[in-house]
């Protein structure tokens, strides 16, 4: 078994930067997806912050970004250090199994014993040191042949996240915190979530996976043999500029769209091959505006969070969040837990309690043919 430094030297970060973030419409859209926004007020986009978290772990020449062709320029502007060989462009979105699987298939051909870690481009983690410690253990766990995930200690009975049911310690040297995963649990109802938090055996599923690339692909092959075979066919010609394009055109459109949770994590958990390293860092997938409001207010009920460089907000007895992408005066009077998102061509007004329903508006706009604002 490898010791930590050696395994970490073989570590490669993969950032799938794909999702639009429909529940953050009208801020996030096809041409301005969630990962290209600064949702925390840090001055950095979520993508850039993700990069900055990973670069100290894998080195900035060992971070691969998988994104849509349309986002190439924006991604490269955000990440000037990103090497050409580390840009993987999707001709159309094919969900996380294809994105992470292709990265793994490409990297394993370049470095047979590479350990890959997949990290969403649009999550928020502020405690970078604690994050780093968890990933270091996950790399060791991965080197031992497991598929490792990171579980976040819940701070509240959230119903918007999936949970990981933890089992016994795996007793892996160099990864003392690693536990076997009993099962993955979909977003629970509130009562169940409360039991999880109280019971102490459940962690939030942070959507991070660390594994040897060959182990990851073998696991995926068990349930998605055709997908993996397509990905490997692509990987075989990926580093040959003349053959890559035609292969993408031929293979990519037919690939199965499936989340890596279903193609890898759940089957691995059932087979006893999934491990979890509990992380004590803060984490949020900032899935909706209520999450953003909470990030900004630090949980204080009466705060009004204001996002937008040129925001001109006049608020009286109001709380929640205002996102301003215009230079208009925005005046709020007596509105609590409100969400106001003001963009040049679309305005959203809702409340924290309804934040998850924003996606349904996006669906309605699609159906009614008003996709110019999506």
* Residues at the site binding its own copies, with contacts judged by CB under 8 A: 26, 312, 314, 316-317, 328-335, 338, 340, 342-351, 353-354, 357-358, 360-361, 364-365, 368, 370, 373
Least separation in angstroms between residue 292's CB and its own copies is: 16
Nearer to its own copies, 190 or 317 (CB): 317
Q: How far is CA 273 from the centre of its chain?
A: 22
Residue 331 belongs to what H/E stretch? strand 329-333
Quick one: 95 or 337, whose CB is closer to its own copies?
Answer: 337
In degrees and rounded to multiples of 5, residue 62 shows phi and psi of -120, 45
What tokens were used for 42?
């840090």
CB of 214 to its own copies, least distance (A): 46
* DSSP annotation string for 117-168: EE--TT-B---HHHHHHHHHHHHHHHHTTPEEEEEEPPSS--SSS-EEEEEE
Give me the least distance between CB of 35 and its own copies, in Å please.
23
Q: Which is nearer to its own copies, 83 or 349 (CB)?
A: 349
The residue among 256 and 351 lying less far from its own copies, judged by its C-beta, is 351
Please identify, using beta-carbon distances, which residue of 26 and 279 lies nearer to its own copies.
26
Q: Please identify, using beta-carbon distances, which residue of 232 and 342 lies nearer to its own copies.
A: 342
For the CB of residue 37, give the shortest distance to its own copies in the complex, in Å: 18
* Residue 354 beta carbon to its own copies: minimum distance, rounded to whole angstroms: 4
Contacts within 8 Å (CB) and 24+ apart, 184-190: 184/261, 184/265, 184/266, 184/269, 186/162, 187/159, 187/160, 187/161, 187/162, 188/159, 188/163, 189/159, 190/157, 190/159
Q: Cβ of residue 301: shortest distance to its own copies, in angstroms?
A: 18
């Amino acid at each position: 078994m490898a010791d930590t430094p050696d395994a970490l030297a073989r570590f490669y970060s993969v950032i799938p930067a794909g999702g639009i973030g429909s529940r953050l419409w009208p801020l996030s859209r096809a041409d301005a997806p969630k990962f290209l926004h600064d949702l925390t007020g840090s001055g950095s986009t979520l993508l850039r912050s993700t990069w900055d978290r990973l670069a100290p772990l894998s080195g900035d020449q060992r971070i691969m970004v998988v994104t849509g062709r349309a986002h190439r320029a924006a991604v490269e502007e955000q990440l000037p250090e990103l090497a050409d060989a580390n840009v993987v462009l999707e001709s159309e979105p094919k969900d996380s199994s294809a994105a992470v699987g292709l990265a793994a298939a490409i990297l394993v051909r370049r470095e047979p014993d590479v350990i890959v870690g997949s990290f969403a481009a649009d999550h928020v983690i502020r405690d970078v040191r604690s994050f780093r410690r968890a990933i270091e253990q996950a790399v060791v766990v991965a080197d031992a042949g497991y598929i490792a995930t990171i579980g976040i200690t819940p701070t509240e009975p959230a119903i918007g996240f999936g949970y990981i049911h933890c089992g016994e310690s795996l007793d892996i040297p160099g990864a003392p915190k690693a536990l076997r995963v009993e099962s993955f649990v979909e977003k629970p109802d509130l009562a169940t979530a409360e039991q999880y938090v109280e019971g102490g055996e459940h962690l939030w599923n942070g959507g991070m996976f660390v594994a040897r690339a060959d182990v990851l692909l073998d696991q995926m092959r068990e349930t998605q043999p055709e997908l993996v075979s397509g990905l490997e066919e692509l990987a075989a010609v990926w580093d040959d500029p003349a053959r890559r394009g035609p292969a993408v055109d031929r293979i990519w459109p037919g690939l199965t769209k499936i989340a890596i949770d279903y193609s890898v994590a759940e089957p691995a958990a059932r087979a006893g091959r999934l491990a979890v390293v509990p992380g004590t860092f803060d984490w949020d997938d900032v899935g909706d505006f209520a999450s953003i409001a909470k990030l900004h207010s630090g949980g204080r009920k009466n705060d009004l969070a204001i996002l937008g460089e040129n925001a001109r907000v006049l608020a009286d007895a109001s709380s929640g969040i205002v996102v301003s992408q215009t230079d208009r005066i925005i005046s709020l009077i007596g509105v609590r837990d409100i969400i106001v998102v003001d963009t040049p061509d679309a305005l959203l007004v809702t409340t924290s309690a309804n934040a998850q329903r924003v996606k349904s508006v996006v669906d309605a706009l699609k159906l009614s043919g008003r996709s110019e604002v999506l």
